């Protein structure tokens, strides 16, 4: 399991990332986009994908991760990476699942979406505070699937 120490970098806006050395990325033998399990300072673990951006390899260090670790841009961290070969699946919230199960064409369109696209649709639904907001967000997903 590769391990390295690095300083978290600020990207545009509120984005923070982990720069991954080239030799570690290519050492996985999976090209430039590598699904990994990331361990920070030996105690916080999350799943992500190494991506190539602006000439370097980065892993996202989102607000949830910053809050959980107490770390942010400019902080030094120790990173351990492990190739993540587990399938990436999204738990579909019930209101959306009911509609998908009622229309096979919608379910097919949903199943063709990548993990990150599915997650991009689901996250706003599960974070909705009110039922009206949740319903509007489910309707937006259904509309997007119909136009696929």
42-81 exposure pattern, b = at least 16 Cβ within 10 A, e = fewer: eeeebebbbbeeeeebbbbbeeebbeebebeeeeebebbb
Q: In what order do the strands lie in the sheet with 3-7?
A: 3-7, 76-83, 34-40, 44-53, 56-60, 16-20, 9-10
Burial of residue 17, with CB atoms counted within 10 A of its CB: 0-12 exposed, 13-18 middle, 19 or more buried: buried
- At 11, is the pLDDT very low, low, confident or very high (cuts 50, 70, 90)? confident
The predicted model scores a pTM of: 0.72
Please identify which residue in the block is written with the tokens 């974070």.
127
In this predicted structure, what is the pLDDT of residue 60? 94
Q: Judge whether 31 and 23 are in contact, CB under 8 Å.
A: no
In this predicted structure, what is the pLDDT of residue 44? 97
Based on the fold, state whether residues 99 and 53 are members of the same structural domain: no
pLDDT digits (tens, 9 = 90+) for 46-81: 999 999 988 899 999 999 999 999 999 999 999 999
Give the mean pLDDT of the chain: 94
Tally of domains within the chain = 2
Domain of 115?
Answer: 94-146
123 falls within a domain:
yes
Q: What is the DSSP letter of 55?
A: T
Based on the fold, state whether residues 79 and 98 are members of the same structural domain: no
Based on the fold, state whether residues 12 and 70 are members of the same structural domain: yes
Based on the fold, state whether residues 68 and 15 are members of the same structural domain: yes
Based on the fold, state whether residues 15 and 70 are members of the same structural domain: yes
pLDDT digits (tens, 9 = 90+) for 84-113: 998 888 999 999 999 999 999 999 999 999
């Amino acid at each position: 399991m590769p391990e390295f120490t690095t300083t978290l970098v600020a990207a545009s806006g509120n984005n923070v990332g982990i720069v991954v050395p080239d030799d570690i990325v290519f050492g996985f033998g999976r090209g430039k986009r590598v699904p990994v399990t990331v361990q920070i300072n030996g105690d916080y673990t999350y799943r992500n994908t190494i991506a190539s951006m602006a000439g370097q390899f980065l892993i996202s260090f989102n607000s949830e991760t910053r809050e959980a670790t107490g770390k942010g841009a400019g902080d030094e961290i120790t990173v351990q990476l492990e190739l993540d070969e587990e399938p990436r699946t999204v738990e579909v919230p019930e209101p959306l699942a009911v509609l998908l199960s009622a229309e096979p064409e919608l379910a097919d369109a949903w199943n063709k979406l990548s993990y990150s696209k599915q997650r991009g649709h689901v996250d706003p639904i599960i974070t909705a505070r009110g039922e009206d907001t949740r319903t509007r967000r489910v309707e937006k997903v259904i509309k997007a699937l119909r136009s696929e």
